Every structure is written in C-alpha cells, then in structure tokens.
Amino acid sequence: AQKVTQAQTEISVVEKEDVTLDCVYETRDTTYYLFWYKQPPSGELVFLIRRNSFDEQNEISGRYSWNFQKSTSSFNFTITASQVVDSAVYFCALIGNNRKLIWGLGTSLAVNP
C-alpha cells in the first residue's frame, strides 16, 4: 500500500527563520511522482513542485528548496528566511502505478512577525 506521512502537524516560526517540512512516503513502485502543494488561508491549492522517482537532484526555487532522498524515502521541503506570506498548510503527495494521488495530512506552518 502507498502512504505519505507528514509527521509535523503544526509548526510555528518567527519571520526570517529557516524551516523544514518533512515528508516520508511508502511505495513499492519503482516509478512514482512526488508533489508539494500549498494551501494558504484563502483555501486554494497551489502546486509547488513535481519530482519523479528517477530524479534525485535537489531543487531550489527562490527561498524554497526540496531534498529528495530515495534511501530514506523522504522528500523534504525547506523554506529559507521565512515570511509571513508563507503561512499556510503544506501537503506532500505521491502518485504511483495505480495513478491515484495519495496525500499526506498536511503541515500547518505559522510564520509570526
């Protein structure tokens, strides 16, 4: 069975701190895709990144970076120099051979001024 675990339910930081959101996944598929989405207080779901299982390169996009490690089945997300606008719920998700998007329960990040 496939599973995505986001062990951190809530995180609170002060602005300008770095913060890492953890994502651990389980799958027996050799080909799969991992995603991160952001859900701000306004409620919409915003796509952040998609990574396939054959690409373990870390990715950086501005203040956001992602660390994909197949050895530990993790796909962690780091926000550098956090800002109040980063306050949101962040979801990690996995899709494998069954074409079904499996979601973690999300991590609620509060960035305080």
Residues that bind another protein (CB under 8 A): 33, 35, 37, 43-47, 50, 91, 95, 99-101, 103-106
- The smaller minimum CB distance to another protein, of residues 18 and 97, is found at 97
What is the smallest separation between the CB atom of 104 and another protein, expressed in angstroms? 7
Say if residues 24 and 73 touch (Cβ distance below 8 Å). yes
What is the smallest separation between the CB atom of 20 and another protein, expressed in angstroms? 21
- The smaller minimum CB distance to another protein, of residues 47 and 54, is found at 47
What is the smallest separation between the CB atom of 6 and another protein, expressed in angstroms? 10
Decide: residue 65, CB within 10 A, 0-12 exposed, 13-18 middle, 19+ buried.
Answer: middle
Look up residue 87 and give its two tokens: 């306050």
CA distance 70 to 64: 20
- The smaller minimum CB distance to another protein, of residues 81 and 98, is found at 98
What is the smallest separation between the CB atom of 81 and another protein, expressed in angstroms? 26
CA distance 35 to 75: 9
- The smaller minimum CB distance to another protein, of residues 14 and 101, is found at 101
CA distances from 1 to 26, 28, 29, 68, 75 (A): 7, 8, 10, 20, 18
